[in-house]
Amino acid sequence: MTYQHLTTGEHASASYAPAPRVVGIAGGVGGAKLAHGLQTILPPGALSVVVNTADDFKLWSLYISPDLDTVMYTLAGLANRVQGWGLEDETWHASDMLRRYGQDVWFRLGDLDIATHVLRTHLLQQGSTISQVTAELAHSLEVPSHILPMCNEQISTMVQTPDGLLDFQEYFVHRHHSDRVLGVSFRTQGTPRITNEVSRALHKATAIVFCPSNPIVSIGPILRVSGIKEAISASGAPKVAVSPIVGGTALKGPAADMLKTLGHEVSPVGVARQYQGIIDGMVIDREDEHLAPRIRELGMEVEVTNTIMKSDDDRALLASSVLVFCNRLTQQRRNES
Amino acid sequence: MTYQHLTTGEHASASYAPAPRVVGIAGGVGGAKLAHGLQTILPPGALSVVVNTADDFKLWSLYISPDLDTVMYTLAGLANRVQGWGLEDETWHASDMLRRYGQDVWFRLGDLDIATHVLRTHLLQQGSTISQVTAELAHSLEVPSHILPMCNEQISTMVQTPDGLLDFQEYFVHRHHSDRVLGVSFRTQGTPRITNEVSRALHKATAIVFCPSNPIVSIGPILRVSGIKEAISASGAPKVAVSPIVGGTALKGPAADMLKTLGHEVSPVGVARQYQGIIDGMVIDREDEHLAPRIRELGMEVEVTNTIMKSDDDRALLASSVLVFCNRLTQQRRNES
């Protein structure tokens, strides 16, 4: 495939360039798709994905980490292609039985998926950190990338609505993100701080990619973890973000509504403003090409390409565009100095 | 059906007799079958089953109670008819996924079954007792009988083998009860004592039935719970046991091997000796009729009938024989006094 030759070729021919070490910063479905594209075109082990855990919650005392699961299943090639989350060929017998026990099954646990929750909960109860557990599970599923939870402490996203303050999953899944969002806040336990794994990955990064995830509730919590923004800032690697907003709407989830009700512009410009001072460039969809000048006014470079990922090829092609853009930024910086 | 008319008729015509309140003392599969037969012929709510919990164990931090599950599924009409344990129409996707995570799945968790373990574990973690959890689960499954765990504290059956001391499920399931049993012991946490529910059931009992379960590792632990033997002894109800040994072998499980290696006779006589001083009568299979005189020598009455339960009718017919036997013992006692 063209994109593979392109990227591999670039790395191979540029003998002065270090081996690529890409860090993705990601939430759930959209982030996982781009991460999968990056994994496809990079050598094994070259990708680390820092994943949001502020949506994590407990259900029937099982520790559920929706974004870690989505990223892991996607990078393992096991994700359900139609819905984006959950597993392919999933069945729902355990949920049926819970319903038979009179339980309100508002978050459906697939039979394959529940094994992940049971094992993760068990390992956490035995004293492992979420970083250790994630590494162990991903290793078993032969994921060739490093999946790095943003921290080992607990940050919980809370959504302020006209009906009061809701846990994120309560707002997102149980109430189908239909409430008006008046504000987003974060409840922390302990002092969430950068892990050794995230610190090392960012330190060695040759490119840092903010995946097309919700900037407020997916990427936002990651940037609140003590030490992560500083480590990104200290990195000499180019930092680019892919807009999750295309043509004025979010491809998935409540990002558009959230930006709007929180007073932000629902466009790649609004997204770029969220990352101002942190990133060097934005990747936007062709549909939003006319907005490029306004993003450049914010002091960022812009790459225009197809950002909608329907197939595996779409994922890899977008990943390739992103890395070529990063290489261009690196080259520019070299030429300037 | 004949057995229903028989029993209902007896209770209805004997206007001086109290409403029947039968207490079954049971382990897993064999005990559950007779309990089901008793439930079939008794009015709703008239049966209480005191169930062994000394086989309970934790797997992936899930609290698993094999005998409670077997009794509950059987009395709910949901049990797998072929294997006796587990649920009808069960699937095994969660176990497959656990195996994919590199786990040694020696105790297969069905997808329906795992919902029971998850919910029970959750309710226990929230502070409910095993008695409360069991009542709640059984109520949801519309079980018309009372399923009573033998105690709320932990008693764990340990099996001494040439390879050392093993947890019961390790010996029974993981190693397929193939080790020679040198001894059986019980590890307790706290002081296991009779619950209010078991105490009340035994106090009001009009018949106490020791189901055809392993006398050493199923009924044995129940009798070790402080207050249970005393409450049985204090009851004026007839107490009878159905032999789990027929023709010198156990119908299921390691009862025969265990009795033998522990120096007991592998026959209804050996079983009767385990219960000497506790019960008034033994129900034995026609195949063992020749042993009746030796059991009578122990000071017990004997009822000879078909004890092998292959169908629902077999269960109900045996239950009916057991209750008729109990009524006869009650009548005899009245005539003697």
Interface test mutation site (partner B, options A60, A62, A107, max chain B beta carbons within 10 A): A60
Q: State pLDDT tens for residues A251-304.
A: 777 888 889 988 999 999 999 999 999 999 999 999 999 999 999 999 999 999
Tracing tokens 């340990």 back to the chain, one arrives at: B158
Residue B2 has pLDDT above 70, yes or no: no
Cβ-nearest to A94 among B101, B111, B126: B111
Q: Report the pLDDT value the prediction gives residue B1, as an integer from 0 to 100.
A: 40
A177/chain B closest Cα distance in angstroms: 27
Distance separating alpha carbons of residues B177 and B170, to the nearest angstrom: 9
Put simply, the answer to whether B60 touches A119 (Cβ < 8 Å) is yes
Interface test mutation site (partner A, options B73, B101, B105, B140, max chain A beta carbons within 10 A): B101
Residue A225 has pLDDT above 70, yes or no: yes
Band (pLDDT 50/70/90 cuts) for residue A238 is very high
Q: Report the pLDDT value the prediction gives residue A18, as an integer from 0 to 100.
A: 65
Residue B188 has pLDDT above 60, yes or no: yes
Q: State pLDDT tens for residues A171-189.
A: 988 898 889 889 999 999 8
Distance separating alpha carbons of residues B210 and B187, to the nearest angstrom: 23
* Residues of chain B contacting A61 with CB distance shorter than 8 Å: 118, 121-122, 125-126
Distance separating alpha carbons of residues A206 and A218, to the nearest angstrom: 23
Interface test mutation site (partner A, options B62, B89, B100, max chain A beta carbons within 10 A): B100
Distance separating alpha carbons of residues B13 and A66, to the nearest angstrom: 63
A89/chain B closest Cα distance in angstroms: 10
Q: Report the pLDDT value the prediction gives residue B13, as an integer from 0 to 100.
A: 43
Dihedral angle, C-alpha A228, A233, A237, A238, nearest 10 °: 110
Residue A18 DSSP label: P
Put simply, the answer to whether B119 touches A91 (Cβ < 8 Å) is no
A334/chain B closest Cα distance in angstroms: 45
Band (pLDDT 50/70/90 cuts) for residue B242 is very high
Residue B18 has pLDDT above 80, yes or no: no
Ramachandran region of residue B173, left (φ > 0), alpha (ψ -120 to 50) or beta? alpha
Residue B5 has pLDDT above 90, yes or no: no
Q: Report the pLDDT value the prediction gives residue A293, as an integer from 0 to 100.
A: 98
Q: Report the pLDDT value the prediction gives residue A240, as an integer from 0 to 100.
A: 98
pTM above 0.95, yes or no: no
Q: How many CB atoms lie within 10 A of CB B259?
A: 24
Longest distance between any two alpha carbons in chain A, whole Å = 67
Task: Give every CB contact of residue B179 below 8 A, 6+ residues apart in sequence.
Answer: B159, B161, B162, B163, B166, B171
Residue A83 has pLDDT above 90, yes or no: no
- H helices of A141-254, in order, are 168-169, 196-204, 220-224, 228-234
Band (pLDDT 50/70/90 cuts) for residue B12 is very low
Distance separating alpha carbons of residues B117 and B126, to the nearest angstrom: 14
* Residues of chain B contacting A113 with CB distance shorter than 8 Å: 97
- What average pLDDT does range A51-74 have in this prediction? 97
Q: Report the pLDDT value the prediction gives residue B254, as an integer from 0 to 100.
A: 83
Q: What percent of chain A has pLDDT over 90?
A: 80
- ipTM of this complex prediction, to 2 decimal places: 0.90
Q: Report the pLDDT value the prediction gives residue B125, as an integer from 0 to 100.
A: 97
SS3 A99: helix
Tell me the CA distances in angstroms from B55 to B64, B69, B149, B165, one per residue in order.
9, 11, 12, 15
Residue A81 has pLDDT above 90, yes or no: no
Cβ-nearest to B91 among A111, A115, A137: A111
Distance separating alpha carbons of residues A20 and A6, to the nearest angstrom: 14
Closest-CA residue to B139 (of B44, B62, B227) = B44
- What average pLDDT does range B76-82 have in this prediction? 91
Residue A17 DSSP label: S
Residue A67 has pLDDT above 70, yes or no: yes
Q: Report the pLDDT value the prediction gives residue A252, as an integer from 0 to 100.
A: 77
Residue A43 DSSP label: P
Q: Report the pLDDT value the prediction gives residue A110, as an integer from 0 to 100.
A: 96
Q: Are strands A22-26 and A207-210 parallel, antiparallel or unpaired?
A: parallel
Distance separating alpha carbons of residues A218 and A52, to the nearest angstrom: 6
- Strand partners of residue A304: A284
Distance separating alpha carbons of residues A16 and A4, to the nearest angstrom: 20
**Complete DSSP assignment for A224-241:** HSBTHHHHHHH--S-EEE
A215/chain B closest Cα distance in angstroms: 32
**Complete DSSP assignment for A118-143:** HHHHHHHHTT--HHHHHHHHHHHTT-
B285-306 in b/e form (b: 16+ CB < 10 A) is beebeebbeebeeeebbbbbbe
Residue B7 has pLDDT above 70, yes or no: no
A303-310 contact pairs (CB < 8 A, 24+): A303/A240, A307/A212, A307/A242, A307/A243, A307/A246, A307/A283, A308/A246, A308/A251, A309/A30, A309/A33, A309/A34, A309/A37
Band (pLDDT 50/70/90 cuts) for residue B251 is confident
- Strand partners of residue B79: B87
Q: Which strands sit side by side in the sheet containing A146-149, from one edge to the other? A: A146-149, A47-51, A22-26, A207-210, A239-242, A281-285, A301-305
Closest-CA residue to B95 (of A233, A114, A218) = A114
Band (pLDDT 50/70/90 cuts) for residue B17 is low
- What average pLDDT does range A27-51 have in this prediction? 97
Q: Report the pLDDT value the prediction gives residue A255, as an integer from 0 to 100.
A: 87
Lookup: tokens for B300: 């017990």
Band (pLDDT 50/70/90 cuts) for residue B190 is confident
Tell me the CA distances in angstroms from A70 to A74, A78, A290, one per residue in order.
6, 10, 33
How many A-B residue pairs are in contact by the CB < 8 A criterion?
A: 98
What's chain B's average pLDDT?
A: 92
Lookup: tokens for A23: 């860090």
